Amino acid sequence: MEINMNGKVIVITGASSGMGAAAARHLSALGATVVLGARRADRIETLAKEIQDQGGKALAIATDVTQRDQVKKLVDSAVGQFGRVDVILNNAGVMPLSPMDRLNVAEWDTMIDVNLKGVLNGIAAVLPHMKEQKSGQIINTASVAGHKVFTGSAVYSATKFAVRALTEGLRMEVKPYNIRTTIVCPGAVKTELLDHITEADIQQANKEYVGAVGISPDSFARVIAFAISQPEDVDINEIIFRPTSQEL
Ligand code: NDP
């Protein structure tokens, strides 16, 4: 199937590595204009230049998704420079897994701030523009861990269950504005996500597992392209994908 993004303007948070960076490259290659947000400015600027050097359109704006004004600036810059925002991919996330009795309470807060409030900040930033345009698509990255809880995932899973809940509520509410909503739930994908697990035993176990079964972030990029490229009257509401060898 040939996919063409028809110059859609797509804002991507968490674009500095892993699945966000893979999505940026793939969507740009398909003809999208990509607006990249993440805290590591050097990474997204290098990626934007790579895309521009290949003839694509890209803009990089250092963004911490926990800061509502920064996410608004990211989206407003996309509209200011390219005239509209067709899609936001709320993808920034962190996963410092640990059992709750280790009381890594600061990490609980960070997961709620990035994985949940960060998504809310993205929604708040695009809704006024998309309502006015009477079109748009809000894609939120949840997880298989947003369907299943496992030992060590309680808080992370709670944030991803919450992302699914709020996206479903949003789906119903934005009907008058012709806005599509999509939840994407990846299984094990090889990215930098596990590098930030602070508990050595948990990190090792997860690295062994994802090292054995994990798939390329390109899988995510193709799923995103599929959801965006449907005709405007088709709304792909949720996709779960896993490595074929993943049991969980
Ligand atoms: P990576 O660690 O490679 O990417 C995470 C991205 O999130 C980075 O670009 C990082 O950028 C960004 N990020 C983290 N905190 C913030 C913040 N406060 N503000 C802005 N950006 C932030 O991991 P993945 O690509 O795997 O993760 C992408 C999403 O996929 C996450 O939501 C994750 O929960 C989800 N996911 C991942 C799975 C996997 O197996 N890899 C499985 C299921 C879901 P920077 O540090 O530069 O700010």
So what's the pLDDT on residue 1? 58
90 Cβ closer than 6 Å to some ligand 1 atom: no
CA of 25 to the centre of ligand 1 (A): 16
So what's the pLDDT on residue 212? 97
User: Strands 9-13 and 238-241, how do they pair?
Assistant: unpaired
Q: Among 156, 158, 182, 190, which one carries the catalytic annotation?
A: 156
Instruction: Kindly report, residue by residue over 159-195, the tens digit of the pLDDT.
Output: 999 999 999 999 999 999 999 999 999 999 999 999 9
Residues 6+ apart with CB under 8 A from 211: 190
CA of 58 to the centre of ligand 1 (A): 20
Query: Is 156 noted as a catalytic residue in this protein?
Result: yes
114 Cβ closer than 6 Å to some ligand 1 atom: yes
Ligand 1 atom with the shortest distance to the CA of 110: 18
**Token digits of residue 132:** 């006015």
So what's the pLDDT on residue 224? 98
Three-state SS sequence of 148-162: CCCCCCHHHHHHHHH
Q: 9-237, superfamily in CATH?
A: NAD(P)-binding Rossmann-like Domain (3.40.50.720)
pTM beyond cutoff 0.85: yes
Ligand 1 atom with the shortest distance to the CA of 191: 3
CA of 191 to the centre of ligand 1 (A): 8
With H, G, I as helix, E, B as strand and everything else as coil, classify residue 234: coil
Instruction: Kindly report, residue by residue over 204-230, the tens digit of the pLDDT.
Output: 999 999 999 999 999 999 999 999 999
